Amino acid sequence: MMWMRHSPGTRKPLPVCSIPARWQTFRHHGAFKGIAAHAANSPHLGRSALDAVTLMTTGTNFLNEHIIEKARVHYAITNSGGISPNVVQAQAEVLYLIRAPEMTDVQHIYDRVAKIAEGAALMTETTVECRFDKACSSYLPNRTLENAMYQALSHFGTPEWNSEELAFAKQIQATLTSNDRQNSLNNIAATGGENGKVFALRHRETVLANEVAPYAATDNVLAASTDVGDVSWKLPVAQCFSPCFCRRLHRYIRGNWLARGEHLLLIKECCWRRKLWQQPQSISSLIQGYCKNANKSISK
């Protein structure tokens, strides 16, 4: 049995136990090799690996229009071949991340991306190696364990914030845009069913969480990925978003809090969730719920 907490961000900045399933991911490198040449004096002798990467990214961008709605294809050029524009680049590399709800979807999209890589190599007379990087399984929620966590959350409530912590959170929140604020409200409203919508409106101006969000199991799939998904196929797992950052602050910039030395908020939150983990729960019901959910997902 595993408990996993996630510090909240723009999506879930309040204590939440109903965590949707997450997507499968697959990361791979597209490494191209060509022939170097002087770009002005002898361009006809060169075979540009950078051109191949450019063609591949163009092709996959068009591919995004022809895959299932819930899938995503992301990329980052990790090696452009060098910093000299007067050289035909002999090597270049791009890293791809494919997301989709099911592994069969990921595999189908990967096969098409690999064909695009081969086409880019053919057009530029270069060679390409598609190299696996890493992958994550989809996350399999355990509703029995989530409900146990919610009961503990409701029993203990949220941490008590002092005036200094609230003032600091307001300073951080003031740096965010109106789009950040609206996105936060929309995501909170999607938690807890109809009660979640009421909860979101009630906390429009909340800076640090002072109430536990309502719990409601959901079949929605969160457009994100985590290696916790791999663990969830081996044993029962429950996740929650815990309150230690101001509402609307995106999780990818929350490190700014620690960088400024405001670590007491995190320490207080850690002590709070330690209480949750000490609550007993029936192991048999956890296993039954886990097996039922796993079999349902496998049958898909």
Range with top average pLDDT, 74-83, 205-214, 226-235: 74-83
Question: Average pLDDT in the 67-72 region?
Answer: 91
Distance CA 228, CA 238 (A): 10
Domain 24-136 fold is Alpha-Beta Plaits (3.30.70)
- Which pLDDT band, with edges at 50, 70 and 90, does 216 fall under? confident
- Which pLDDT band, with edges at 50, 70 and 90, does 14 fall under? very low
Distance CA 14, CA 207 (A): 10
For residue 289, the tally of other CB atoms under 10 A from its CB is 18
Distance CA 227, CA 170 (A): 33
Domain limits, the chain: 2-23+139-299, 24-136
Residue 135 to residues 23, 28, 96, 99, Cα–Cα distance (Å)? 11, 9, 11, 10
Strands (E) across the chain are located at: 2-6, 21-22, 24-33, 37-38, 72-79, 87-88, 91-100, 127-136, 221-222, 237-241
- Which pLDDT band, with edges at 50, 70 and 90, does 10 fall under? very low
Evaluate if pTM is beyond 0.85. no
Question: pLDDT for 132-186, tens place per residue?
Answer: 888 888 777 788 777 777 877 777 777 777 888 788 878 877 887 888 778 777 7
Residues 43, 88: contact at Cβ < 8 Å?
A: yes
**Cα-Cα-Cα-Cα dihedral sign, residues 117, 123, 124, 125:** positive
- Tokens at residue 95, please? 């890293």
For residue 198, the tally of other CB atoms under 10 A from its CB is 13
Query: H helices within 64-217, ranges in order?
Result: 103-124, 143-156, 163-173, 178-189, 193-202
Percent of the chain at pLDDT above 70? 69
List of residues 6+ apart from 272 with CB closer than 8 A = 156, 158, 159, 242, 243
Question: pLDDT for 255-297, tens place per residue?
Answer: 444 444 444 445 455 555 555 555 555 555 555 655 666 555 5
Lowest-pLDDT range of 109-113, 116-120, 239-243? 239-243
Of 298 and 34, more confident: 34
DSSP single-letter state for residue 47? B
Placement of tokens 């063609």 in the chain: 55
Question: Average pLDDT in the 13-42 region?
Answer: 74
Question: Average pLDDT in the 216-229 region?
Answer: 72
- Tokens at residue 151, please? 């009961």
Residues 221, 101: contact at Cβ < 8 Å?
A: yes
Distance CA 192, CA 150 (A): 12
DSSP single-letter state for residue 65? G
119: three-class secondary structure by DSSP: helix
